[in-house]
Amino acid sequence: MSLQRLLVFAPTRRAASETFVRATLAGLPCEVVAYFGDECPLGQPDRLAYGLAVLLSKVCTRLGWLKLAGWPAAQVARGLIDRHRPDLVLAEFGFHAVRVMEACPRARVPLVVHFRGSDLSAAGKLGVLRERYRRLMQLAAGLICKSQPMARTLRELGGDPQRILISASGANAALFTAGDAAAAPAIALAVGRFVEKKGPLLTIRAFARMPLGELWMVGEGPLLPAARRLVAELGLEDRVRFLGTQTQEQVAALMRRVRVFVQHSLVAADGDSEGNPVAVMEAQLSALPVVATRHAGIPEVVLEGVTGWLVEEGDVDAMALALERLLVEPALAARLGAAGRERVLARFTLDHHLQDLMAFLERVAADEV
């Protein structure tokens, strides 16, 4: 069976953090009809009904009525399935999938769930929804995740190992092109939201141990004020630049101007964890060496001593040493960066992800006929 029409249910279209959800949907070579839980357009009754149903589901979840929370959106989803008659339903994020999961078996349409990171780690999601996830494992015909640790969690919840696809979201090879790390000034670049699991404060502390170079930080988030205060306390105002939110095109241009990419990802206090950070792949595609942590899917992409250096979570001293070596040895930075670009071009581009995803969806749809 060829997959002709895909019906997608996702929590949001607008959040900047969901860039990769939008890129995936735009790149699939089939008809995609998507509904987003944060949209309630008055002139579109179906989308209004879905948005209101998701809002009601959220209220029920906050009240602890978890089974009831799966009813409003599932009822509307069933009607949308009947209307669009898709070959398959794709739910983005596990916490959103539990809102619509009961609609699919009743409509006899296979459900595939795409987990992306915090939905399979954070206490506010995995901790609250663990039993609902066990029910989801029974209903889903396919499961997609970003890394081996995420796949392990899915198996522990009861997911069928034969129905799990591990696929990093991938970097856009048309946008992120090679720079010249050897010729670039001694600048380290960090890209990501200022939240605990991205480790921005630890990145700053590691950089503070170095006597040279600059640190450029892209992003916004709740830890940004604390990061600014830390920079002032450490007397780094003339060496650390906060660049705010940047478009993907702007980030790509920045990556071609610096010598090294740095990211101190770690498990947050509430359990929140990365899936497989796309910025790491984008940096390698830009021929940058990467200094990062042995966290989540990062070691599956960054090869120690070949495409970058990996340190343990929280090891600020080791991160400082790795950064300093790359900033003072431009030839080494260029060599590791070139190897990283080759690795991502071979395995971790957006095209690789789309090919893997479409093949998996086709297989699931065929198996359910």
- Give a three-class secondary structure readout of 182-205: CCCCCEEEEECCCCHHHCHHHHHH
Handedness of CA 190, 193, 196, 200 (dihedral sign): positive
The pLDDT-based confidence of 22 (bands split at 50, 70, 90) is confident
Predicted local confidence at residue 81, as pLDDT: 97
Q: Identify the pLDDT of residue 108.
A: 94
What confidence score (pLDDT) does residue 146 get?
95
User: Is the per-residue pLDDT at 49 higher than 90?
Assistant: yes
Model pLDDT, residue 115: 96
What pLDDT was estimated at residue 26?
79
pLDDT at residue 368 greater than cutoff 90: no
pLDDT-based confidence at 20, cuts 50/70/90? low
Question: In whole angstroms, what separates CA 201 from the centre of its chain?
Answer: 20
Strand (E) or helix (H) holding 48: helix 45-62
Is pLDDT at 48 greater than 90 in this prediction?
yes
pLDDT of amino acid 21? 75
Cα–chain center distance at 235: 33
List the single range of 67-71, 81-85, 191-195, 343-347 with lowest mean pLDDT. 67-71
Q: What pLDDT sits at residue 345?
A: 98
In the prediction, which pLDDT does 140 show?
Answer: 97
Model confidence pLDDT, tens digit, residues 308-367: 999 999 999 999 999 999 999 999 999 999 999 999 999 999 999 999 999 999 999 998
Q: Evaluate if pTM is beyond 0.85.
A: yes
Radius of gyration of the chain (CA): 21
Q: Residue 15: pLDDT band by 50, 70, 90 thresholds?
A: low
The pLDDT, as a whole number, for residue 116 is: 92
Helix (H) or strand (E) holding 338: helix 330-347
pLDDT of residue 19: 63
- State the DSSP code for 194: S
Check residue 13 and give its pLDDT: 80
Q: Nearest Cα to 296, choosing from 169, 180, 190?
A: 169
Q: How far apart are CA 40 and CA 228, in angstroms?
A: 37
Question: Stretch 40-59: mean pLDDT, rounded?
Answer: 95
pLDDT, residue 291, reads 98
Q: Name the pLDDT band for 28 (thresholds 50, 70, 90).
A: confident
DSSP notation for 225-257: HHHHHHHHHTT-TTTEEEEE---HHHHHHHHTS
9: Cβ contacts below 8 Å, ≥ 6 apart:
34, 35, 37, 50, 73, 77, 89, 90, 91, 92, 96, 97, 99, 100
In the prediction, which pLDDT does 1 show? 56
What one-character DSSP code corresponds to residue 304?
B
Is the predicted pLDDT of residue 277 greater than 90, yes or no? yes
Mean pLDDT of the chain: 94
Given a cut of 90, whether residue 268 has pLDDT beyond it is: yes
- Count of CB atoms situated within 10 Å of the CB of 267: 18
Q: Are strands 260-263 and 290-293 parallel, antiparallel or unpaired?
A: parallel
Among residues 142, 145, 126, 122, which one has the least CA distance to residue 134?
Answer: 126
DSSP SS3 for 344 = helix
More confident residue, 12 or 2: 12
All domains of the chain in start order, with CATH: 5-169+349-367 (3.40.50.2000), 187-347 (3.40.50.2000)
Torsion sign across C-alpha atoms 280, 176, 260, 257:
negative
H or E stretch at 282: helix 278-285
- Is residue 188 classed as helix, strand or coil in its secondary structure? strand
Residue pLDDT, tens place only, 172-227: 999 999 999 999 999 999 999 999 999 999 999 999 999 999 999 999 999 999 99
Q: What would the mean pLDDT of 255-280 be, rounded to a whole number?
A: 96
Residues ≥6 apart with Cβ < 8 Å to 83: 46
CA 141 to each of CA 3, 46, 63, 78, 154: distance values in angstroms, whole numbers, following the listed order: 15, 26, 29, 17, 13
Contacts of 132 (CB under 8 A, 6+ apart): 66, 67, 70, 98
pLDDT per residue as tens digits for the range 111-161 = 999 999 999 999 999 999 999 999 999 999 999 999 999 999 999 999 999
Residue 17 has pLDDT above 80, yes or no: no
pLDDT band per the 50, 70, 90 thresholds, residue 269? very high
Angle, vertex CA 298, rays to CA 168 and CA 145, nearest 5: 35
- The residue among 277, 341, 12 whose CA lies nearest residue 146 is 277
